[in-house]
Structure 1
Amino acid sequence: NPDTLYFHSYLRADAEYVVTGRRGTTADLSFQILNGDYSPVEVPDSLAAFDDREIEIDEHGNFEVRFGPGKAGPNYFTLAPGSAMLVVREVYSDWAGEQRGMIRIRRADKAGAAPPALTMDALTKRYGVAGKILLSRLKTFLAFPEWFYLKLPVNTLTPPRSTPGGLTTQFSSVGHYDLGEDEAMVVTVPLSDAPYQGIQLGSMWYVSLDYINHQTSLTGHQSKVDSDGMIRFVISERDPGVANWLECTGHRRGYVQLRWQRLSRDLTPADGPAVELMRIDQVPTKLPFYERISASEYADRIAARQAGVATRMLG
């Protein structure tokens, strides 16, 4: 997700971990425990998933959360048997205005202790494992489109559904497109009451398209909302002249994903997208509330994206 900073740490279910941090002003901060890693043959089960509404945070935004085999309590979450990974997601809606927080993790019984000195055998094993992980990840992300997208009818999107993998505060709608140079796919969706709403395009390699120098994703905050409360995105190779253009950047085929996060209710089909295909030259006459923006206005949008990512990644 172009709007998300991802952090993960491998865990042992019989150990205790201390996660400390400071809550920033981003739209969402969530925690998830998985029972393994993603592989070319399966998605790991989610053993627990929650966002920062379920933890105690002090008046300065600071928090301390513990994960371990002990009894659950305030800011203490029990690691179920098989717990293997903690994933933390920090999600932006306003790339320019929201500020990231800070987070770190340590094993409770290892603070102040140095790890054993590395040996040649240990290094050999580590590099061997790293090579296997690299190959596994390549195969995994090539398999993802087949699992979740390519079995669906082309140029359609699913109704909102709880995201596979157990991120309980997120719903998503997915699909894949196949568009000629003169074609456009118009996606119409209501502006949500969820704190985070976003759409993105990706390649058949399950890689986000260049979201820094091109507009290949948009959040609810970044999108132009029409007077009827709807957001209308135009997915196409050629420029339709609208603020909510999502650029294919030379990818005739690709995937589309919409996300809603930090939900306080289940979404229904009425909250989801509608899709219409048309020729690119039909967009000005068929798109409700069509309003052309200039090349310089669009360049300003790209400049804002570049600045937003630089601030997020470099501070």
Structure 2
Amino acid sequence: MDGRTIATAALGQFKKARVAYLKLRGQTPDSVAEQRVAAGTSWDEFCDTLKSAGAAIVFPGTPSDPLTQAEGYRYLSRLTRAGLEAFVEYADPRAPVLRRMIHETAKMGSDNPDNHYLNATIDGALDYRITGTRGTVDYLGFGTQEGNYGEGGQMPTTGYVEAADLDIGPDGRFELVLSATEREGNWLPMTSGTGLLIVRQTFADRATEIPAELHIELLDGSASPAPLTSAQLDAGLGKASLLVAGASMLFAKWARDFQKHTNELPMFDPERSTKAGGDPNIIYYHSYWRLGPDEALVIESEVPECDGWNFQLDNHWLESLDYRYHPIHVNKHTATYRPDGSVRIVVTHRDPGLPNWIDTTGHDCGAMTFRWIRAAAHPQPHTRVVAVSELSRLD
């Protein structure tokens, strides 16, 4: 260990000892936070946790090819950006803002390419109102979650309501109240532990549908954010870094576990999905795929009566592949169906000239997800790996 490392370690121990000493002297949490920020402890711990998050990139089962590794470190940078925005810039539940945490360049947990996600930090002890217009997006759902991202991987749903269940005016406008106590009219339940609002807008056809326009405020009037305090920054940096370390490790473990049934699509435990913040109206089939240069993954399924369904391809880090420029997913609206109403999806490295082609975009492996949304039944998608040369001979 060199002198600089020893000095750095000693400084870190001194800062921790200093904080402990202040606590023993009866300092308040605010004064302790002020000392931590002023001493650089908050920043040092933030950086140390970010550094430790690199363990996810070398987690057992992680491919070592250059593309996967490069995307892994980009993934950590994306999580860092998302965490800082969520917990430092937009963390005040008294001045809530609906914003996109997950989008085209910040992805997590097999994000749905058909979704336009909105999030807001809220507090179950307060009451809120959402106002706006319904738009024409195919599906619009509002969910309150316990806790928040980066707080242990568990975010059980505390309330859920869909636009189809709301009273919406002829002009498309509506109001929705969020509170822990029941209200007349459009109401979204919360509990004392609620900390997050997730709005899911699911497109059938992004090219033609209009998303909802939404605004959230405190029922007694949203306030401008108060001046930043040391306590807020200290907590925000801590939560942001824990999101990076926690989410990356959680989904690294998922990716490892999914490899146990590579190129298959078993149903994912619905209870586990909901606790992690998944939509309670969706049944998920999470798995892993791996294909050689001349191999194709063929997925076939009956299609039940449902509000929607889709299939998507992800990289190893459970980030959806780049749907802005490549056909990496297919849904109920965009799919071509077989004469009997079933669907066949073909995953290959090059376009085989067949319907419902999914592009691997230069990847050899990764995660994948199939969803049934409010389906009357949940048929098991069947998978098989065949040579690309055999695709033209499929019935």
What is the TM-score when the length of structure 2 is the normalising length? 0.65
For 2:250, the equivalent position in structure 1 comes to: 143
Deviations 1:156-195 (A, max 9, x none): 0014764711522212222111111111110012234222
Verify the 8 A CA contact 1:175 1:257 in the aligned structure 2.
yes
Displacement of 1:216 after TM fit?
Answer: 0.5
Distance in 2, matches of 1:110 and 1:282, equals 64
Determine helix, strand or coil for the equivalent of 2:220: helix
Displacement of 1:73 after TM fit?
Answer: 3.0
Distance in 2, matches of 1:224 and 1:264, equals 19
1:215 aligns with 2:327: yes
Determine helix, strand or coil for the equivalent of 1:180: coil
CA 128–45 in structure 1, closer or farther in 2 if over 3 Å, else same:
closer
Show the 5 A alignment for 1:92-131.
92-111=203-222, 113-116=223-226, 118-119=227-228, 121-122=229-230, 125-126=232-233, 129-130=236-237
Determine helix, strand or coil for the equivalent of 2:253: helix
1:28 aligns with 2:136: no
Q: Which has the larger radius of gyration?
A: 2
Displacement of 1:228 after TM fit?
Answer: 1.7
1:133 aligns with 2:249: no
For 1:273, the equivalent position in structure 2 comes to: 381
1:168 aligns with 2:285: no
CA 17–51 in structure 1, closer or farther in 2 if over 3 Å, else same:
same
Verify the 8 A CA contact 1:6 1:90 in the aligned structure 2.
yes
For 1:76, which of 187, 190, 203 is the aligned residue? Answer: 187
* More strand, by proportion: 1
For 1:12, which of 123, 133, 155 is the aligned residue? Answer: 123
For 2:171, which of 60, 78, 99 is the aligned residue? Answer: 60
Verify the 8 A CA contact 1:40 1:141 in the aligned structure 2.
no
Verify the 8 A CA contact 2:130 2:215 in the aligned structure 1.
yes
Further displaced range: 161-170 or 46-55: 161-170
For 1:48, the equivalent position in structure 2 comes to: 159
For 2:265, the equivalent position in structure 1 comes to: 157
Amino acid at match of 1:78: P
In the comparison of the two structures, how many residue pairs are matched? Answer: 279
Verify the 8 A CA contact 1:187 1:276 in the aligned structure 2.
yes
Amino acid at match of 1:133: A
Displacement of 1:218 after TM fit?
Answer: 1.1
Verify the 8 A CA contact 2:144 2:189 in the aligned structure 1.
no
Displacement of 1:34 after TM fit?
Answer: 0.7
Determine helix, strand or coil for the equivalent of 2:194: coil
CA 210–77 in structure 1, closer or farther in 2 if over 3 Å, else same:
closer
Displacement of 1:10 after TM fit?
Answer: 1.1
Further displaced range: 16-25 or 91-100: 91-100
Distance in 2, matches of 1:147 and 1:31, equals 26
Verify the 8 A CA contact 2:286 2:369 in the aligned structure 1.
yes
For 2:341, the equivalent position in structure 1 comes to: 229
For 2:392, which of 261, 284, 290 is the aligned residue? Answer: 284
For 1:240, which of 352, 359, 370 is the aligned residue? Answer: 352
CA 215–127 in structure 1, closer or farther in 2 if over 3 Å, else same:
farther
Determine helix, strand or coil for the equivalent of 2:247: helix
Distance in 1, matches of 2:118 and 2:303, equals 28
Amino acid at match of 1:4: N
Distance in 2, matches of 1:125 and 1:97, equals 42
Verify the 8 A CA contact 1:10 1:86 in the aligned structure 2.
yes
Amino acid at match of 2:202: V
Q: Percent identity?
A: 25
Amino acid at match of 2:193: G
Amino acid at match of 2:251: F
For 1:295, the equivalent position in structure 2 comes to: none
Distance in 2, matches of 1:151 and 1:37, equals 28
What is the TM-score when the length of structure 1 is the normalising length? 0.81
1:258 aligns with 2:351: no
Verify the 8 A CA contact 2:287 2:368 in the aligned structure 1.
yes
Distance in 1, matches of 2:177 and 2:192, equals 16
Verify the 8 A CA contact 2:159 2:189 in the aligned structure 1.
no
Amino acid at match of 1:136: L
Verify the 8 A CA contact 1:51 1:169 in the aligned structure 2.
no
Deviations 1:64-96 (A, max 9, x none): 010113334321233212011110000001222
Displacement of 1:259 after TM fit?
Answer: 1.4
Show the 5 A alignment for 1:286-301.
286=394, 288=395
Unmatched 5+ stretches in structure 1: 289-315
